[in-house]
Chains A and B, each alone.
Chain A
Amino acid sequence: MTVARAAHRATVEPAAAPIEIDVADVSIVFDSSKGQVVAADRVSFQILRGEFVCLLGPSGCGKSTVLNTIAGFETPYAGTVRVAGKPVTGPGPDRGMVFQQPHLFPWKSVRSNISHGPRALGKPAKEARAIADDLIAMIGLSRFADAYPHTLSGGMQQRVAIARALANRPGVLLMDEPFGALDAQTRIVMQESLLGLWAKVGTTIVFVTHDIDEAIFLADRVLLMSAGPGRILRDLRIDLPRPRGSEIVLDPAYVALKKECLDLIRAESRQAFEQQAVR
């Protein structure tokens, strides 16, 4: 195991990989009926090219907001977000995104959904189709290339959504609780196949979740966030060997990491609970 871990570390050597995502002192403020709400408070982190990072935190901690800011759907109140050195000014094809719901275009077949991105960028129809067919094979849905989304199961739809997000060959893949709406069995299969896909395409992935097991299973690093206002509580390195299988939950290193996360979350929730009691 030590050997495997060493080998893995060598592939993502912090000094060697350039910084892909740079979130610097980002604060995000929303106007609500009760006045202004601070969704994120001076959040800073850097993600290296090719890294798989999970943003882990309770619902309402602003982790999705941070992800949307990287995507360019939200504008920060203060601070800057840079992707591949360029400041983010809006959504763009260099950052693919998978949402909690698949949001597939219901009037397009699986193939047309996936080839939409390349075609939007002006690729010839034939080339766009070839890109789509490659990805369809990769997600194992070749039999369903001409099917419409409503005929597919939730897990299949989300696989198509991942393929669609990858079709423009983005440097960054942003995933907003993509498996949150799936049942437990499907979710495990999806996690494993996502890791398989990532091993092939090698994009940088930022994955938002509130599920501790999911975060540790998938990530190179887990950024633990706290609620009200959203802050980065801890930056945890997940030094578990890859490829990872479901038996990893028995690994003492895994158990130790999970305990660390749980302890931090417990301390944080207690504090939040007491603060609410005082108010």
Chain B
Amino acid sequence: MTREQLQRLNTAISILSIPMFFLVWELVSRSHVVNIILFPPPSVVAVAMLEWVKSGQFAIDLTVSVTRVVIGFALGAIAGVLFGVLTGQFQLVSSLLSPIFHILRPIPPIAFVPIVILWFGLSETGKIFLVFWGVFFTVWLTTHIGVQKIDPGLIRAARMLGTPRRQMLTEIVLFGALPYIVVGLRTAVSISFYTLVAAELAGTFAGIVYRIEIAQQNLQTGQVMGGLVALGAVSFLADRGFAAVTQRLVWWR
């Protein structure tokens, strides 16, 4: 087989990969080897999803979940970059704050769910806080490292040109750290989705994960899996969209 043929074969297989997955799933579900109620075939999942969309509930769930992620992510990212630049640039601030951040960072954000319920009840603030918490430390750490890894030659050049301190931060340090910051932000996108899961499981009144939980209680397994598919799709789109933004953000690469 020539190299070209081999490549064509690989392309064909990769196109068939997902349909094959659904086909095998459908066959296994309907084969009576497994319980069809607990393990519904994709056709049943598709019907459940269609009904979810038609009822208008999907739009509400999607909006609520995405809003939580967007607000929590934005706040966490802004705070993370701000503190990352400060601790990365000023030794004194770093000595003061870094030890605190380092002891808080390893605690999984999900573990904060119980205390967050006590603090904020089942309000939106609690959900947003959890997402914020998950995003903040990742973005802070990558920004901090990014600032410290800036080519010292660039800093020297800027000092030689008489760059004042504020301009040094906004025009040199921030941009110098940007390649690291965007990596942190992209990681934080997926973190924000799994903190969302914890936040919505802890109790709420709408949202994609909430819908999964309710469906589970009613043994609507088609709806449960439909929720998982929807969550996967949203998270995937967010990651891809962010990757595209990233490329524009670091345009000089």
| A→B interface (CB under 8 Å) | 71, 73, 90-93, 95-97, 99, 101, 103-107, 116-117, 119-121, 148-150, 164-165, 167-168
A95 contacts B160, C-beta separation under 8 Å: yes
A99 contacts B157, C-beta separation under 8 Å: yes
Q: Complex formed: what's the CA distance from A150 to B167 in Å?
A: 23
Task: Pick out which of these stretches binds chain A: B18-26, B100-108, B148-156, B206-214.
Answer: B148-156
Q: Which residues of B contact A104 (CB under 8 A)?
A: 157
B156 contacts A93, C-beta separation under 8 Å: no
B151 contacts A117, C-beta separation under 8 Å: no
A116 contacts B161, C-beta separation under 8 Å: yes
Q: A103-B151, A105-B175 are in contact. Are A168 and B162 (CB under 8 A)?
A: yes
Q: A105-B172, A106-B252, A150-B252 are in contact. Are A92 and B162 (CB under 8 A)?
A: yes
What does the 1/0 interface line of B167-186 toward A look like (CB < 8 Å)? 10001100100100000000
Q: Complex formed: what's the CA distance from A150 to B250 in Å?
A: 13
B252 contacts A91, C-beta separation under 8 Å: no
| CB-contact partner of A148 in B158, B167, B178, B252, under 8 A | B252
Q: Which residues of A contact B160 (CB under 8 A)?
A: 71, 91-93, 95-97, 165
Q: Which residues of A contact B178 (CB under 8 A)?
A: 107
Q: Can you identify 21 A-B contacts, CB atoms within 8 angstroms?
A: A73-B156, A91-B156, A91-B159, A93-B161, A95-B160, A97-B157, A103-B154, A103-B156, A105-B154, A105-B157, A105-B158, A105-B171, A116-B158, A116-B163, A117-B161, A120-B162, A120-B163, A120-B164, A148-B252, A164-B157, A167-B161
Q: Which residues of B contact A91 (CB under 8 A)?
A: 156, 159-160
| CB-contact partner of A120 in B153, B167, B251, under 8 A | B167
A120 contacts B161, C-beta separation under 8 Å: yes
| CB-contact partner of B162 in A93, A106, A107, A148, under 8 A | A93
Q: Complex formed: what's the CA distance from A41 to B120 in Å?
A: 67
B161 contacts A99, C-beta separation under 8 Å: no
B251 contacts A107, C-beta separation under 8 Å: yes
Q: Complex formed: what's the CA distance from A101 to B151 in Å?
A: 11
Q: Complex formed: what's the CA distance from A91 to B156 in Å?
A: 8
Q: Complex formed: what's the CA distance from A150 to B252 in Å?
A: 7
Q: Complex formed: what's the CA distance from A90 to B178 in Å?
A: 28
Q: Complex formed: what's the CA distance from A117 to B156 in Å?
A: 13
Chain A minimum-CB-distance residue to B154: A103
Q: A99-B153, A99-B156, A99-B157 are in contact. Are A107 and B163 (CB under 8 A)?
A: no
Chain B minimum-CB-distance residue to A149: B252
Given A107-B252, A117-B161, A119-B167, 7 extra CB contacts under 8 A: A91-B160, A93-B160, A93-B161, A99-B156, A120-B162, A120-B167, A167-B161
Chain A minimum-CB-distance residue to B167: A120
Chain B minimum-CB-distance residue to A95: B160
Shortest CB-to-CB span from A118 to chain B, Å, is 9
Q: Which residues of B contact A164 (CB under 8 A)?
A: 157, 161
Q: Which residues of A contact B163 (CB under 8 A)?
A: 116, 120
B153 contacts A117, C-beta separation under 8 Å: no
Chain B minimum-CB-distance residue to A94: B162
| CB-contact partner of B157 in A92, A103, A148, A168, under 8 A | A103
Kindly list the 3 A-B residue pairs having the minimum CB-CB distance in the complex, ordered from nearest: A93-B162, A103-B153, A117-B161
Q: Which residues of B contact A117 (CB under 8 A)?
A: 161-162
Q: Which residues of B contact A165 (CB under 8 A)?
A: 160
Q: Complex formed: what's the CA distance from A99 to B158 in Å?
A: 12
Q: Complex formed: what's the CA distance from A105 to B163 in Å?
A: 13
Shortest CB-to-CB span from B168 to chain A, Å, is 9
Q: Which residues of B contact A93 (CB under 8 A)?
A: 160-162
What does the 1/0 interface line of B16-60 toward A look like (CB < 8 Å)? 000000000000000000000000000000000000000000000
Q: Complex formed: what's the CA distance from A164 to B154 in Å?
A: 13
Q: Which residues of A contact B171 (CB under 8 A)?
A: 105, 116
